[in-house]
């Protein structure tokens, strides 16, 4: 089985888990949840296909998938209102939960490596993450005010 087939299977599988979370956590019905997830998967697969085109494959897949999703949601794109209405039924948080569950299940292998590190890396990592978030947010706040966007 090649890499793209594997990716397709993984997308469908994780999409199903997202639908389950959408039904349990946000009380959306099964039909809307599955249909919404299906549309999201199809857009993801189109993005994946685009990213394989020679020449375009120089940029990461995440870029092309983003671009394809943005195009599908443009007001002028035919059927975009339908796409948005259908996918809106899938809650953002329901999409994130299975992803972070997979992330969690892979942490064990990092725990062993982590034990070998000095404790010093913990405050440093927290400072790195805080720095990138907070400085970007502060700059954004000032420029948004200046641009009159807020």
Query: Among 15, 28, 34, 89, which residue sits at the site for another protein (rule: CB under 8 A)?
Result: 15
Q: Which helix (H) or strand (E) holds 35?
A: helix 30-51
Taking the least distance from each CB to another protein, the nearer of 2 and 31 is 2
Q: Which CB sits closer to another protein, 25 or 31?
A: 25
Which backbone phi and psi does 78 adopt, to 5 degrees?
-60, 130
Number of helical (H) and strand (E) elements in the chain, helices listed first: 7, 0
Binders of another protein among 58-117, rule CB under 8 A? 59-63, 65-75, 77, 80, 83-84, 87, 90, 92-114, 117
CB-based contacts of 6, cutoff 8 Å, min separation 6: none
Nearer to another protein, 31 or 109 (CB): 109
7 binds another protein (CB under 8 A): yes
Q: How far is the CB of 16 from another protein (least distance, A)?
A: 9
Shortest reach from residue 8's CB to another protein, in Å: 9
- C-alpha span between 146 and 142 (Å, rounded): 6
Among candidate residues 1, 6, 11, 5, the one with its CA nearest the CA of residue 95:
11
Counting every residue written for the chain, the total comes to 150
Size of the site for another protein (CB under 8 A): 98
Residue 32 lies near another protein (rule: CB under 8 A):
no
Could you list the beta-strand ranges (E) of 45-94.
Answer: none
Asked if 50 interacts with another protein (CB under 8 A), we say no
Query: Is residue 134 a contact point for another protein (CB under 8 A)?
Result: yes
* Interaction between residue 53 and another protein (CB under 8 A): no
- What token pair was written down for 55? 């020449």
């Amino acid at each position: 089985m090649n890499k793209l087939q594997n990716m397709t299977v993984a997308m469908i599988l994780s999409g199903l888990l997202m639908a389950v979370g959408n039904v349990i956590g946000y009380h959306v019905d099964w039909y809307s949840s599955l249909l919404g997830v299906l549309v999201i998967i199809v857009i993801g697969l189109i993005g994946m296909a685009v990213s394989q085109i020679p020449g375009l494959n120089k940029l990461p897949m995440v870029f092309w998938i983003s671009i394809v999703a943005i195009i599908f949601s443009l007001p002028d794109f035919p059927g975009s209102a339908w796409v948005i209405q259908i996918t809106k039924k899938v809650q953002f948080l329901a999409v994130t939960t299975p992803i972070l569950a997979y992330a969690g299940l892979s942490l064990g292998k990092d725990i062993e490596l982590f034990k070998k590190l000095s404790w010093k890396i913990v405050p440093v990592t927290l400072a790195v993450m805080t720095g990138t978030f907070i400085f970007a947010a502060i700059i954004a706040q000032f420029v948004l005010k200046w641009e009159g966007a807020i």
